[in-house]
Chains A and B, each alone.
Chain A
């Protein structure tokens, strides 16, 4: 598969790729599932929203900003007790998913919220005029109309998760980034470093192309 590497390294490489995929997919899944309702809540409670409510909107916005402004490497060690509570351990790929999920949830919530904000207000007004309930407006109007933006947000989040996951080595999360540091840098094996970088570039390119293709498919404008 990677002929210029010794067989043992090849195995490590495959394991690291699987770890990266696990971390990215696991964190993204949580981020989408938690971020979507949070973003809807933020959007609805915003000024001029369907259920304007500053008491919900402001604290939630503050919390999300706090998570987003904490550097990931600090966030990771800062929430170790929480990670232990959720994952049972603070070390390993599974444990690394917890801080990754937290950071990407905050990230994707803002991106989702932006996508919702782009929905034409006139369409929402029309839905109100037709006697829709607020929940009908959210699920039948705002989410479908924002779908291209939501998919683009997921793509961006996945791509930045690939980057964040490289830092997961700090808590023994493994992954391609960690492999690159330990073998490529610390053991001075440039071919490992180059392979890691190339695989990550291809991976990110693939994600982006897939995301763009999906956006084009669902965009009817």
Chain B
């Protein structure tokens, strides 16, 4: 039983690409009150994952992503990127590290006075890369985003989607290991959003990037993120694997975000056409989310028999997050209130999330 092999030395690459610890940031306001943009935020982003931060405007997500490359300095906390605490670095070293962290912006922030190629060359110029090497690097970055033929165009001549491709090429030209996306698709139409999200995902796979993105759209998270953190009032209220968060949201804010994305809003008039409840009984609209081991069980008919309820299926569909499918069904339950409650509890025991249906305005 002698141990023959020595312990392997721990790998040089840190497990976490980004590790934010207990960040606080307060902005001075009138009357000395101020607002807490960050109120004790801690996050770990693993190398190679796409991590989404979702929240409404003012939730602090914008401040948070700016803390990763210290465009915004937290009042307290630690910002570790690739194992190094950036807050301890001097100006010169910080500038150097920033070149290893690409950033893409909502409004693209391209230099209007430069051509596409010169925009992509900018970070290389700043990094002191000689002109002879810049050309091939620019060409490489532009071909990554499929914009090689637009090298000589000015940003004003491009569509929003093309501008964001230039923004991505510019962010990737210095070959960073981390990409920060600040509402990268919020200024784009839905189709272009899909296109850009697809591109970011492909680039992550191809270049082994770690992506941290902030968004106010849960649909973006659903589309490309591996993990998600939900922010509200400067705090992370919930985080986890996207599939878990979507199928078992814990916090009311998360539920609201998810309802906007995958939930049902029963069209107005639908409820009015449903039969009324019999005397002494109740009619309750429920939304059941099927995921996990019990999702394939015939739970509707079983619940109907067990709890002596009439269950009327209003609508149902199957959706997927990443490769994982889940079902969503809107039911009208008719029966004694206590029995309906019991059925809801039973669904919960089976791991199926039940929420009231949004009856629509």
A: residues with CB less than 8 A from B are 120, 122-123, 125-133, 136, 140-141, 144-145, 147, 218, 220-221
Q: Knowing A123-B110, A220-B155 are in contact, say whether A133-B105 is a contact too (CB < 8 A).
A: no
Bound Cα distance A145, B154 (Å): 13
Complex contact B95–A133 (CB within 8 A): yes
Residues of B whose CB lies within 8 Å of any CB of A are 69, 71, 95-99, 101, 103, 105, 107, 109-114, 122-123, 125-127, 154-156, 170, 174, 180
- Specify which of A125, A129, A145 is in contact with B113 (CB 8 Å cutoff): A145
Least CB distance from A139 to B in Å reads 11
How many pairs of A and B residues are in contact by the CB < 8 Å rule?
Answer: 66
| Given A130-B122, A131-B99, residue A123 in contact with residue B71 (CB < 8 A) | no
Q: Would you call A129 and B98 a contact (CB within 8 A)?
A: yes
Q: Is the CB of B99 within 8 A of A144?
A: no
**A136 contacts which of B126, B154, B155 (Cβ < 8 Å)?**
B126
Would you call B111 and A125 a contact (CB within 8 A)?
Answer: no
Instruction: Report the minimum CB–CB distance from A170 to chain B (whole Å).
Output: 42
B98 nearest in chain A by CB position: A131
User: 4 closest Cβ contacts across the A-B interface?
Assistant: A126-B109, A131-B98, A122-B109, A131-B99
- The contact of B111 among A133, A136, A141, A218, by CB within 8 Å, is A141
A140 touches B98 (CB 8 A): no
Contact of B109 with A130 in the complex, beta carbons under 8 Å: no
A122 near B107: Cβ-Cβ < 8 Å:
yes
What is the distance, in angstroms, from B21's C-beta to the closest C-beta of chain A?
22
Measured in the bound complex, the distance between the Cα atoms of B167 and A123 in whole Å is 11
A152 CB → nearest B CB, Å: 15
Quick check: B98 and A144 within 8 Å, CB to CB?
Answer: no
**Nearest CB in chain B: distance from A135 CB, A:** 11
Residues on B with beta carbons closer than 8 Å to the beta carbon of A144: 111, 113-114
CA gap between A145 and B119 in the complex, in Å? 12
Minimum Cβ distance to chain A for residue B96 (Å): 7
Contact call A220/B126, Cβ cutoff below 8 A: no
CB-CB under 8 A for A131 and B109, given A125-B71, A144-B114, A220-B155: no
In the complex, besides A132-B126, A220-B154, 15 extra interface pairs with C-beta distance below 8 angstroms are: A123-B110, A125-B71, A125-B105, A125-B109, A126-B105, A129-B101, A130-B122, A130-B126, A131-B126, A133-B95, A133-B126, A136-B126, A145-B112, A145-B113, A220-B112
Q: Using A218-B113, A220-B112, A220-B154 as known contacts, say yes or no to A131 and B105 having CB atoms under 8 A apart.
A: no
A-B contact pairs, 30 of them (CB 8 A): A122-B107, A122-B109, A123-B109, A125-B105, A125-B109, A126-B109, A126-B110, A129-B71, A129-B103, A129-B180, A130-B123, A130-B126, A130-B174, A131-B95, A131-B96, A131-B123, A132-B95, A133-B95, A140-B122, A140-B125, A140-B126, A141-B111, A144-B111, A144-B114, A145-B112, A147-B113, A220-B113, A220-B155, A221-B112, A221-B156
Q: How far is the CB of B84 from chain A (nearest CB, A)?
A: 15
B residues less than 8 Å from A125 (CB atoms): 71, 105, 109
Whether B114 lies near A129 (C-beta < 8 A) is no
A130 closest partner in B (C-beta)? B123
Contacts of B154 in A (CB 8 A): 220
Given the complex, which residues of A lie within 8 Å of B95, measured CB to CB? 131-133
Contacts of B69 in A (CB 8 A): 129
Alpha-carbon separation in the docked complex, A147 to B113 (Å): 8
- Name the A residues within 8 Å of B180 (CB-CB): 129
Q: Considering residues A130, A131, A144, A218, which has the most beta carbons from chain B within 10 angstroms of its beta carbon?
A: A130
| A133 nearest CB neighbor, chain B only | B95
Task: State how many angstroms separate the Cβ of A133 from the closest Cβ of chain B.
Answer: 7
User: What's the least CB distance linking A125 to chain B, in Å?
Assistant: 6
Q: Contact: A126 with B103, CB < 8 Å?
A: yes
The smallest beta-carbon distance between A157 and chain B, in angstroms, is 22
Residues of B within 8 A of A221 (CB): 112, 156
Question: Which chain B positions have C-beta within 8 A of A220?
Answer: 112-113, 154-156
Contacts of A218 in B (CB 8 A): 113
**A220, B113: Cα distance in complex, Å:** 6
Q: How far is the CB of B27 from chain A (nearest CB, A)?
A: 13
Q: Which residues of A contact B170 (CB under 8 A)?
A: 130
A-chain residues with CB within 8 Å of residue B103 when the two chains form the complex: 126, 129-130
Q: Which residues of B contact A126 (CB under 8 A)?
A: 103, 105, 109-110
| Min distance, Cβ B267 to any Cβ of chain A, angstroms | 40
Task: Point out the residues of chain B lying under 8 angstroms from A140, CB to CB.
Answer: 122, 125-126
A130 to B99 alpha-carbon distance, docked (Å)? 5
Distance in angstroms from B350 CB to nearest chain A CB is 48
A124 nearest in chain B by CB position: B109
Closest chain-A Cβ to B175's Cβ sits at a distance in Å of: 13
- Taking a contact as CB atoms closer than 8 A, the residue among B97, B101, B111, B127 that contacts A123 in the complex is B111
Distance in Å: Cβ of A132 to nearest Cβ of chain B: 5
Chain A residues within 8 Å of B107, by CB: 120, 122
Minimum distance in angstroms from A193 CB to a CB of chain B: 45
User: How long is the Cα–Cα vector from A83 to B96 in the complex, in angstroms?
Assistant: 49
Q: Which of A123, A141, A218 has the most CB of B within 10 A?
A: A123
Q: A127–B71 Cα gap in the complex (Å)?
A: 10
- Residue from A123, A131, A144 having most chain B Cβ neighbours under 10 A: A131
Closest to B69 in A: A129
Q: Chain B residues near A131: list those with CB within 8 A.
A: 95-99, 123, 126-127
**A120→B109 contact, CB < 8 A:** yes
Given A140-B122, A220-B155, A220-B156, decide whether A130 and B98 contact each other with a Cβ distance below 8 A. Answer: yes
